[in-house]
């Protein structure tokens, strides 16, 4: 379906999120929509999918203007949107989720729906179990089910909002294959992202949004030079490439030492870990979702007590001592879900510093506010000391969380430190983490993004099916080899070679 | 054997208002709305149902009036919580207190007045069956209805497309909205339907189980129903089982009163509530992750069946229960 917008405008208070946009998207192609956080991508997509109504301008489906009253109306017209966090019902099975409030007449029976789902899954190359409960699946699998649901319910335009955030590299590859297939069948795919490489790999055209406007007006055919797109997205400021500074791997003292550690979390068991993690380097944990990275991070943060073995921090035995003792020993854990596990959304940065004061019954507000001011200036957080954390953007939340790490921290454990951040924010975060590393901190991070692992790690540890590989110096590793190891190819040989 | 059958039939009869109210509450909580006014609603509708039946001489009108009162209280709760965005628990609690006091204030003229009651209607042929006859088929229409409403609710929730929508409303209303369903309208519908059932349960007290009207007529059964719905995991069959267990405990307490006359009546009246809460808490403790961790220490032979049992017992609340809906 051909889809076009004319002079589309959407304001939130004084902010003009979409400013007289005029674009069209041809059928049978994959269209990339690029822009940094807050550029207006999400607003445009929500307007197209009926979640928002425009203040001015109109949307044309196959050249006919149509006002959408809601997402159900949009799906009736043929527009389906896959959200970053799929809007499905986690307590349901895949089949129940498909049947729930499906348009009348689409599925005659449970059996018909199941057959349709399995046929489509086969055509798109998605493995699916109709009886599996969605909360047992990964985000990537839930996304596949959501795509199939929308297609089966009649979507001829598929909008994907940051679809590769939080899914594994393998799932991203299978997603891309499926999207090409969907476009080849004559449907329109809108691929919203801030990852240039993905847009370059997948899309036929690209539209760049900045401050609610299309720059330059209209679509660009792909390919385009990466630096040109970056300069469109960020103006001139964002175009500087990241600097990789290889560090001489001197024999630094270990921050953590694991001696014959066995730990279990849920169904995953880590057996007989013997590792030392040295100060002054960044260690990347690579692996498929749920291969043991999270368990290892929680073990090192003291949140998970080992069943057997000893955990030493800075030479002190802290086995089973609990997260408070680990924090006192200088270990900081930065969780992936910033607002659930990391910070308290309703409290401000000042409040967070006040929480860290610890001693005495009274709060020294002045000192806390001073600390918050310093953090804001030093980490370039776009906030006042009294803004609630929940009101900040993802990048600013992440910077705030980093700013709260005390200066004398010895080890930082970061789970997906740049999840959901745009390129500029991610670079800023990494600049900070590298500064910590240079100050003698050991930074261990997990990320599903292999490019991020390759770009920033001094050493890489591959996790495969609950087994933790030996640290490999970054210089000895190629992207292709890393991808193989994550899939288990040559993993045994690697472990044996070290043993 | 004879006595056991009579006792079991008495339990089925005594639990009938609880079961009806519990199914009503299950429906609205499954759609994500807590109707905390349950106890007050039952009292007010018990009073109204009795008064209307007494004045008009028509039992059906009494039940209809009770259902309307239940629906009306639910609609008021919906107005404040769903439309105006206030806390469901706070509004529901205030409504519970308000309805309780209204029932004693407005119901004063009807207190301890003899009035109509639902007639005993054994079902021909079926009531002569051995065992099943005396157990299931020698009751009155209210009790038959309470027996039928459990499979009906279970079928509605798990066997129909409407049920999928209702459960989704309680789990993730944003997803239902994304599918083009008006979340607020459907939550109102389920809340009001559930409220009407609670109203009928009230009338089942005053026109059937404890015929007549008196101050605090239902003696706090509404609150125990709220607890049973929670610990029953919002699943119709388990919730109904909880109601029958409570009725059985009450029967045992009444029996023990005649057997042990030294025990003060207050203790006999309160004991079923305490025992019920204890049972529910123990069941939930057994189904908790802590119990699962303890099981993991046992020999492997025991782990699998015990973990399976724990998984079956475990009941998680509808994820969006009590939360206001905001459009994504």
DSSP B221-282: HHHHHHHHHHHTTT-HHHHHHHHHHHHHHHHHHHHHHHH-TTS-HHHHHHHHHHHHHHHHHH
Is the pLDDT score of A96 beyond 70?
yes
Task: Check whether the bond before A223 is cis (ω within 30° of 0).
Answer: yes
Residue B218: the pLDDT is 81
pLDDT (mean) for A75-101: 91
Which of A465-474, A475-484, B287-296: highest mean pLDDT?
A: A465-474
pLDDT at A482: 84
Over the range A124-151, which residues count as b (16 or more CB within 10 Å of their CB) and which as e?
bebebebeeebeebbbbbbbbbbbbbbb
- Number of residues written out for chain A: 499
What is the pLDDT at residue A250? Answer: 57
Cα B303 from Cα B296, distance rounded (Å): 6
CA distance A101 to chain B (A): 6
Bridge partner residues of A24 (DSSP) = A4
Percent of residues, chain A, with pLDDT higher than 70: 96
DSSP three-state, residue B182: coil
pLDDT score of A244: 45
Between A483 and A143, the more confident residue is: A143
Q: Which tokens sit at B260?
A: 């042990």
- Chain A positions touching B165 (Cβ under 8 A) are 100-101
What residues are paired with A270 via a beta bridge? Answer: A263
- CA distances to A293, A445, A474 from A434, in Å: 21, 12, 15
Report chain B's mean pLDDT, rounded to a whole number: 90
Confidence of residue A436 (pLDDT cuts 50, 70, 90): confident
**Banded model confidence at residue A499, pLDDT cuts 50, 70, 90:** low
Band the pLDDT of A199: cuts 50, 70, 90. confident
The C-alpha of A154 sits at a distance from chain B's nearest C-alpha, in angstroms, of 12
Instruction: Determine whether the interchain pair A72/B167 forms a contact, defined as Cβ–Cβ distance below 8 Å.
Output: no
Burial classification of residue A245, based on how many CB atoms lie within 10 Å of its CB (0-12 exposed, 13-18 middle, 19 or more buried): exposed
Of B164, B176, B178, the CB nearest to A99: B164
Which residue of B171, B176, B178 is in closest CB contact with A90? B171
Quick: pLDDT tens for B118-142.
988 888 888 888 888 888 988 999 9
Element spanning A435, H or E = helix A423-438
Best probe of the A interface among B179, B319, B325, by most A CBs < 10 A, is: B179
Query: Across residues B50-63, what is the average pLDDT?
Result: 94
Query: What confidence score (pLDDT) does residue A254 get?
Result: 84
Q: What are the pLDDT digits (tens) for B249-305?
A: 988 888 888 888 888 888 888 888 888 888 888 887 887 777 877 877 777 788 888
Contact A51 B176 (CB under 8 A): no
Closest residue by Cα to residue B70 from B99, B94, B109, B98: B99
Give the per-residue pLDDT at A249.
53
- Using a CB–CB cut-off of 8 Å, the residues of B that contact A are 161, 164-165, 167-168, 171-172, 174-181, 316, 318-319, 327-328
Q: Tell me how close the Cα of B237 comes to any Cα of chain A, in angstroms.
A: 19
C-alpha A140/C-alpha A86 separation (Å) is 9
Least confident range of B77-81, B158-162, B208-212, B306-310: B306-310
Which member of A71, A87, A92 has the closest CB to residue B180?
A71
Q: Which residues contact B79 (CB under 8 A, 6 or more apart)?
A: none
Q: Torsions phi, psi of A231, nearest 5?
A: -70, -30
Contact A315/B at CB under 8 A:
no
**Residue A366: exposed, middle, or buried by beta-carbon count in 10 A (0-12, 13-18, 19+)?**
exposed
Q: Are B202 and B43 in contact (CB under 8 A)?
A: yes
Confidence of residue A239 (pLDDT cuts 50, 70, 90): very low
Tokens of A411: 């080890």
pLDDT average, residue stretch A113-123: 92
Q: For A113-127, what is the mean pLDDT? A: 91
A347–B contact, CB cutoff 8 A: no
Alpha helices in chain B (DSSP H): 2-14, 16-30, 38-56, 59-78, 88-106, 132-136, 141-159, 161-171, 173-178, 183-204, 221-231, 236-259, 265-286, 289-296, 300-313
Band of residue A188 on the pLDDT scale cut at 50, 70, 90: very high
Q: What are the structure tokens assigned to A235, written together?
A: 């103006």
Q: Do A89 and B179 touch (CB under 8 A)?
A: no
| Dist. CA B23–CA B16, nearest whole Å | 11
Residues from chain A that touch B180, judged by Cβ atoms under 8 A, are 70-73, 75-76, 101, 103
Say yes or no to pLDDT of A238 above 60: no
What is the rounded CA–CA span in Å between residue B45 and residue B47?
A: 5
What's the CA gap between A156 and A149, in Å, rounded? 12
Compute the distance between CA of residue A110 and CA of residue A169 in angstroms, rounded to an integer. 33
**Residue A37 token pair:** 């956080």
Mutate to test the interface with A, among B178, B186, B296 (most CBs of A within 10 A): B178
Which chain B residues are closer than 8 Å to A76 by Cβ? 180
List all residues of chain A from 65 to 84 with a beta carbon under 8 Å from chain B.
Answer: 70-73, 75-76, 81, 83
Q: CA nearest A93 in B: which residue?
A: B164
- Confirm if A190 and A159 have CB atoms less than 8 A apart: yes
Q: Which pLDDT belongs to residue B13?
A: 93
* Beta-carbon contacts of residue A497 (< 8 Å; ≥ 6 apart): none
Q: Does residue B225 have a pLDDT over 50?
A: yes
Please provide the DSSP assignment of A101-113 as one string.
Answer: TPPTTS-SSHHHH
Give the three-class secondary structure for A243. Answer: coil
- Give dist(CA A301, CA A412) in Å, integer: 9
Peptide bond between residue A170 and the one before it cis (omega within 30 degrees of 0): no
A286 touches chain B (CB under 8 A): no
Residue to test with chain A: of B173, B180, B318, B325, most A Cβ within 10 A: B180
User: What local confidence, expressed as pLDDT, does residue A422 receive?
Assistant: 78
pLDDT at B164 over 50: yes
Q: What are phi and psi of A483, to 5 degrees?
A: -60, -40
Question: What is the predicted pLDDT for the residue at A359?
Answer: 74
How sure is the predictor about B314, in pLDDT bands with cuts at 50, 70 and 90? confident
| pLDDT of A307 over the 80 cut | yes
Residue of A440 and A145 predicted with greater confidence: A145
Range picked from A34-48, A266-280, A393-407, B80-94 for highest mean pLDDT: B80-94
Q: How far is A264 from chain B (nearest CA, A)?
A: 11
Q: Residue B177 is nearest to which of A71, A91, A102, comparing CB atoms?
A: A71
Model confidence at A279, pLDDT cuts 50, 70, 90, reads confident
A32: closest CA of chain B, how far (Å): 23
- What number is the average pLDDT over the span A264-274? 81
The Cα B232–Cα A187 span in angstroms is 47
ipTM value = 0.84
Q: How confident is the model at residue A242 (pLDDT cuts 50, 70, 90)?
A: very low
With a CB cutoff of 8 Å and minimum separation 6, the contacts of A346 are A388, A389, A390
Whether B179 and A101 lie within 8 Å, measured CB to CB = yes
Give mean pLDDT, residues B177-195: 95
Per the CB < 8 Å rule, is A71 touching B174?
no
Could you give the count of Cα atoms lying within 13 Å of A377 in the half-sphere of its Cβ? Answer: 5
| pLDDT value for A241 | 42
Give the pLDDT confidence score for residue A243 in this predicted structure: 45
Contact criterion met (CB below 8 Å) for B27 and B197? yes
Rg (CA), chain B: 21
Domains and CATH numbers, chain B: 2-313 (1.10.3470)
| Count of pairs with CB atoms under 8 A, one residue in A, one in B | 65
pLDDT for residue B149 is more than 90: yes
| Joined tokens for residue A257 | 């030492």
- Among A74-83, A116-125, A191-200, the range scoring the smallest mean pLDDT is A191-200
Q: Which two tokens stand for residue A163?
A: 């679809």
Sign of the Cα pseudo-torsion (A213, A215, A221, A227, in order): negative
pLDDT tens, position by position, A6-49: 999 998 877 788 888 899 999 999 999 988 767 888 889 999 99
Of B168, B171, B174, the CB nearest to A101: B168
Between β-strands A205-210 and A30-34, what pairing exists: parallel, antiparallel or unpaired?
parallel
């Amino acid at each position: 379906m051909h889809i076009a917008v004319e002079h589309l405008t959407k304001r939130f208070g004084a902010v003009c999120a979409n400013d007289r946009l005029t674009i069209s998207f041809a059928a049978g192609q994959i269209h990339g929509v690029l822009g940094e956080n807050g550029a207006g991508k999400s607003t445009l997509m929500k307007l197209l999918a009926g979640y928002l109504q425009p203040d001015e301008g109109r949307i044309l489906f196959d050249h006919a203007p149509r006002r959408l009253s809601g997402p159900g109306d949009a799906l009736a017209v043929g527009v389906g949107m896959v959200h970053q966090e799929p809007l499905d019902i986690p307590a349901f099975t895949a089949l129940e989720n498909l049947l729930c409030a499906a348009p009348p007449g689409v599925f005659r029976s449970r059996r018909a729906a199941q057959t349709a789902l399995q046929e489509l899954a086969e055509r798109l190359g998605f493995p699916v179990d109709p009886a599996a409960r969605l909360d047992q699946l990964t985000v990537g699998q839930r996304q596949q089910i959501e795509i199939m649901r929308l297609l089966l319910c009649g979507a001829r335009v598929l909008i994907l909002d940051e679809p590769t955030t939080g899914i594994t590299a393998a799932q991203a590859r299978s997603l891309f294959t499926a999207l090409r297939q969907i476009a080849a069948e004559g449907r329109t795919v809108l691929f919203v992202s801030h990852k240039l490489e993905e847009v370059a790999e997948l899309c036929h055209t690209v539209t760049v949004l900045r401050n609610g406007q299309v720059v330059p007006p209209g679509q660009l055919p792909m390919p385009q030079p990466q630096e040109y797109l970056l300069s469109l997205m960020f103006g001139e400021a964002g175009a500087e490439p990241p600097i990789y500074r290889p560090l001489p791997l001197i024999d630094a003292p270990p921050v953590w030492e694991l001696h014959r550690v066995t730990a279990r979390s849920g169904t995953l068991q880590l057996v007989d870990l013997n590792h030392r993690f040295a100060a002054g380097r960044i260690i990347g944990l690579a692996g498929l979702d749920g291969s043991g990275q999270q368990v290892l991070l929680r073990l090192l943060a003291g949140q998970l007590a080992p069943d057997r073995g000893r955990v030493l921090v800075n030479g002190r035995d802290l086995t089973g001592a609990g997260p408070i003792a680990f924090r006192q020993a200088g270990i900081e854990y930065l969780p992936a879900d910033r607002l659930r596990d990391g910070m308290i959304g309703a409290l401000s940065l000042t409040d967070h510093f006040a929480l860290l004061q610890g001693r005495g019954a009274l709060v020294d507000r002045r000192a806390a506010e001073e600390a918050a001011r310093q953090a804001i200036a030093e980490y370039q957080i776009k906030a006042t000391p009294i803004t609630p954390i929940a009101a900040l953007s993802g990048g600013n939340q992440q910077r705030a969380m980093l700013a709260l790490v005390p200066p004398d921290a010895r080890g930082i454990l970061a789970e997906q430190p740049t999840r959901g951040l745009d390129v500029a924010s991610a670079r800023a975060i990494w600049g900070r983490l590298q500064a910590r590393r240079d100050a003698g901190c050991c930074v261990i991070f997990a990320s599903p993004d292999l490019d991020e692992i390759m770009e920033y790690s001094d050493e890489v540890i591959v996790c495969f099916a609950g087994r933790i590989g030996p640290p490999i110096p970054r210089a000895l590793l190629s992207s292709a080899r890393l991808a193989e190891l994550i899939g288990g190819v040559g993993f045994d040989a690697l472990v044996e070679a070290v043993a | 054997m004879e006595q056991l059958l009579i006792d079991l039939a008495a339990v089925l009869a005594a639990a009938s208002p609880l079961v009806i109210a519990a199914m009503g509450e299950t429906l609205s909580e499954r759609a994500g709305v807590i109707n905390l006014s349950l106890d007050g609603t039952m009292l007010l509708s018990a009073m109204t149902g009795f008064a209307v039946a007494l004045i008009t001489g028509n039992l059906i009108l009494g039940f209809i009036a009770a259902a309307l009162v239940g629906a009306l209280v639910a609609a008021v709760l919906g107005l404040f919580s769903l439309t105006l965005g206030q806390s469901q628990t706070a509004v529901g609690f205030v409504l519970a207190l308000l309805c309780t006091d209204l029932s004693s204030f407005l119901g004063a003229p009807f207190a301890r007045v003899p009035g109509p009651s639902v007639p005993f209607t054994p079902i021909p042929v079926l009531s002569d069956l051995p065992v099943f006859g005396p157990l299931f088929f020698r009751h009155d229409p209210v009790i038959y209805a309470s027996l039928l409403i459990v499979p009906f609710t279970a079928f509605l929730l798990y066997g129909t497309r409407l049920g999928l929508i209702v459960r989704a409303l309680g789990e993730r209303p944003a997803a239902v909205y994304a599918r083009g369903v008006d979340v607020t309208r459907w939550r109102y519908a389920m809340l009001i339907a559930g409220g009407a059932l609670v109203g009928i349960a009230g009338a089942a007290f005053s026109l059937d189980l404890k015929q007549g009207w008196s101050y605090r007529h239902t003696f706090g059964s509404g609150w125990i129903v709220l607890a049973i719905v929670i610990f029953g995991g919002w699943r119709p069959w388990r919730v109904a089982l909880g109601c029958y267990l409570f009725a059985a405990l009450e029967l045992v307490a009444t029996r023990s009163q005649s057997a042990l006359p030294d025990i003060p009546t207050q203790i006999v009246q309160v004991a079923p509530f305490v025992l019920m809460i204890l049972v529910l808490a123990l069941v939930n403790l057994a189904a908790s992750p802590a119990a699962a961790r303890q099981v993991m220490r046992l020999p492997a032979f025991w782990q699998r069946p015990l973990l399976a049992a724990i998984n079956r017992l475990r009941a998680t609340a509808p994820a969006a229960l009590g939360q206001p809906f905001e459009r994504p």
